[in-house]
Structure 1
Amino acid sequence: MARRQVRAAGGGRWLPWLGLALLPLAVPPAAAPGGCPSACYCVATPELVQCRYERLEEPPRELPATVRNLSIVGSNLSVLHRAAFAARPLPDLRLLHLRHDNIQTIEDMALQGLPALRTLDLSHNPLLSVAAGAFAGAPLLHTLQLNQALLAAPLEEQLALALRNLSLRRLELAGNALRALPAALLPAGLEELDLCNNSLQRLTAAELRSLEAPGLQRLRVTLGANPLSCDCALRPLLTWLRIAAARVPDARSLRCTAPPLLRRAVLLHLRPEALTCAASEPGRLETASYVFFGIVLALIGIVFLMVLYLNRRGIKRWLHNLREACRDQMEGYHYRYEQDADPRRTSTIGTPGL
Structure 2
Amino acid sequence: MREKTWIFHSADNAKCLFSLWNQWCLCYAAVVCLLFSPVRTDDACPSSCVCARDSGTVTCRDGEDAEVPGDIPVWTSTLILKGRNISTLQRGAFMINGTESDMTTLSLSYNGIQAIEPYAFLGLPRLHLLDLSHNQLESISARAFHGLLELRSLYLNDSLLPPATMQLSNALSTQSLHNLHRLELAGNSLKSIPLMRLDIYNLHALVLINNSIESIGPENVTNLYQLRRIRVYLSLNPFRCNCELEAFYYWLKNSSQCPDAQRVLCSEPEAKRGVPVEKLRREDVDCMNENLEAVSYVFLGIVLALIGVVFLMVLYLNRGGIKRWLNNIREACRDQMEVYHYRYEQDSDPRLANVAV
Q: TM-score range by the shorter chain?
A: 0.5 to 0.7
Determine which of 67, 75, 98 is the counterpart of 2:76.
67
The amino acid of 2:275's aligned partner reads: A
Q: Distance in 1 between matches of 2:87 and 2:197?
A: 24
Question: 1:85-234 residue pairs with structure 2 within 5 A?
Answer: 85-88=94-97, 91-153=101-163, 154-163=166-175, 166-184=178-196, 186=198, 187-212=200-225, 216-234=227-245
8 A Cα contact 2:151 2:179, kept in partner: yes
8 A Cα contact 2:145 2:176, kept in partner: no
Q: Tell me: CA distance 1:183–1:209, structure 2 relative to 1, closer, same or farther (3 Å).
A: farther
Q: Does 1:48 align with 2:57?
A: yes
Q: Please report how far the alpha carbon of residue 90 of structure 1 lies from its aligned counterpart in structure 2 after TM superposition.
A: 6.6
Q: Distance in 2 between matches of 1:262 and 1:292?
A: 31
The amino acid of 1:273's aligned partner reads: E
The amino acid of 2:168's aligned partner reads: E
The amino acid of 1:117's aligned partner reads: L
Question: 1:200-349 residue pairs with structure 2 within 5 A?
Answer: 200-212=213-225, 216-244=227-255, 246-275=256-285, 291=298, 294=301, 322=329, 325=332
8 A Cα contact 1:135 1:163, kept in partner: no
Q: Please report how far the alpha carbon of residue 37 of structure 1 lies from its aligned counterpart in structure 2 after TM superposition.
A: 1.6
Q: Please report how far the alpha carbon of residue 77 of structure 1 lies from its aligned counterpart in structure 2 after TM superposition.
A: 1.9
Give the RMSD, CA atoms, in angstroms: 3.8
The SS at the match of 1:325 is helix
Q: Please report how far the alpha carbon of residue 48 of structure 1 lies from its aligned counterpart in structure 2 after TM superposition.
A: 2.0
TM-score by length of structure 1 reads 0.65
Structure ranking higher in helix proportion: 2
Q: Tell me: CA distance 1:43–1:193, structure 2 relative to 1, closer, same or farther (3 Å).
A: same
* Deviation digits for residues 265-285 of structure 1 (CA, Å, limit 9, x no counterpart): 2222222223489xxxxx98x
8 A Cα contact 1:120 1:143, kept in partner: yes
Number of residue equivalences? 274
The SS at the match of 2:43 is coil
Of 144-153 and 81-90, deviating more is 81-90
The amino acid of 2:102's aligned partner reads: D
Which residue matches 1:9? none
TM-score by length of structure 2 reads 0.65
Q: Tell me: CA distance 1:116–1:156, structure 2 relative to 1, closer, same or farther (3 Å).
A: closer
Of 43-52 and 95-104, deviating more is 43-52
For structure 1, the 5+ residue unaligned runs are: 1-30, 278-282, 305-317, 330-354
The SS at the match of 2:196 is helix
Q: Please report how far the alpha carbon of residue 185 of structure 1 lies from its aligned counterpart in structure 2 after TM superposition.
A: 6.0
Q: Please report how far the alpha carbon of residue 161 of structure 1 lies from its aligned counterpart in structure 2 after TM superposition.
A: 4.3
8 A Cα contact 1:142 1:166, kept in partner: no
* Deviation digits for residues 113-172 of structure 1 (CA, Å, limit 9, x no counterpart): 223210111122233333343323332112111222332412134314445554211111
The SS at the match of 1:159 is helix
The SS at the match of 2:106 is strand
The amino acid of 1:51's aligned partner reads: C
The SS at the match of 1:76 is coil
